[in-house]
Amino acid sequence: METNIDNIELIFNKHPNISRDTLIPIMQEIQDEMGYLGKDAVWKLSRRFGLPTSKIYGLATFYNQFRFKPRGKFHIQICNGSSCHLYASQKLISDLEKELQISDGETSRDQMFSLEVLPCIGACGQSPVMCINGEYYTRLDAKRLKEIIANCRETQTS
């Protein structure tokens, strides 16, 4: 799904005086509104700022909070920080990648799941930790992880 051009125009209209300093904030606003920076958004930014699209992509990749693909219905953030790592988060990440057939930063073909591996999600005392659409799952193990994913799938089919 591509982003809505009209919404991008609305964001541009809020910033009549554009300069290089306004590029990142505008990119953030677009991402907040659309969930990601789609091709059309990058193209519009390029036209608006008089910069090649490669420059916009370059800048967006430098600040790694930007995404270029839409998130899945279930956006999974899993921690691989030092505390979670001690509790085998890497194995859980591998399990997730196998189960969902996606890697870090990807969205499943059916748009159901997206995966983001993070360095810490602020619940180190309850490692290993995962968060789906803002809901935290702590002290995870492989069995529970499977159940949680199966539950997500079930809620979509029932």
Q: Which residues bind ligand FES (CB under 6 A)?
A: 79, 81-84, 120-124, 127, 129
Min dist CB 131 to ligand FES, Å, is 9
Which C-beta is closer to ligand FES: that of 11 or that of 130?
130
CB of 77 within 8 A of CB of 67? no
Min dist CB 80 to ligand FES, Å, is 7
In angstroms, the CA 78 to CA 80 distance is 7
Contacts for 135 with CB less than 8 Å, ≥ 6 apart: none
Which C-beta is closer to ligand FES: that of 39 or that of 139?
139
Is residue 135 helix, strand or coil? strand
Which C-beta is closer to ligand FES: that of 50 or that of 134?
134
Min dist CB 104 to ligand FES, Å, is 15
Min dist CB 78 to ligand FES, Å, is 9
The helix, strand and coil proportions of the chain, stated in percent and rounded to the nearest 5, come to 50, 10, 35
Min dist CB 2 to ligand FES, Å, is 34
Task: Find the distance separating the first CA and the last CA of the chain, reported in whole Å.
Answer: 24
The dihedral formed by the CA atoms of 113, 116, 121 and 124, expressed in degrees to the nearest 10 = 90
Which C-beta is closer to ligand FES: that of 110 or that of 135?
135
Which C-beta is closer to ligand FES: that of 31 or that of 127?
127
Beta-bridged to residue 114, according to DSSP, are 75, 107
Residue closest to ligand FES, measured at CB: 81
